[in-house]
Amino acid sequence: MNSKANILVVFYSRDGSVEALAKAVSEGAREAGAEVRLRRASDIVPTAVMAKVPGWEERSKRMLSEYGVPTQADVECADGIIFGTRRVLVTPRRS
């Protein structure tokens, strides 16, 4: 019987800042004795939009290659799931 917790860390990072946080969370979970799977969520924007931000597409390809995307198997084996993404606050326009 495996007594280690299986943790899935799923993150989305455009510039690498949330990637760094996800890696830190993963390291902490490993230090606490967990088995960790680190995965990056796929982009949902077209490459034409990504091309407007220097380096976005290259970083995306690197992270997807390094971590892969979360799969059904990842979810099914996880005892816990941690999500990380950039929080965007939108202020309503005042008339």
Tell me the per-residue pLDDT of 10-38, one tens digit each, with 9 for 90 and over.
999 999 999 999 999 999 999 999 999 99
Residue with tokens 């990072």: 13
- The topology under which CATH files domain 6-84 is Rossmann fold (3.40.50)
Confidence at 86, pLDDT banded by 50, 70, 90: confident
pTM, full prediction:
0.85
Closest CA to 35 of 61, 2, 13, 58: 2
pLDDT band at 48 (very low <50, low <70, confident <90, very high): very high
Q: Which strands make up the sheet holding 35-40, listed edge to edge?
A: 35-40, 6-11, 80-84
Least Cα distance to 9 among 65, 85, 61, 60 occurs for 85
On whether the CB atoms of residues 40 and 13 are closer than 8 A, the answer is yes
**Is residue 53 pLDDT above 80, yes or no?**
yes
| Full DSSP string of 42-78 | PP-S-HHHHTTSTTHHHHHHHHHHHH----HHHHHH-
Q: Where are the domains of the chain?
A: 6-84
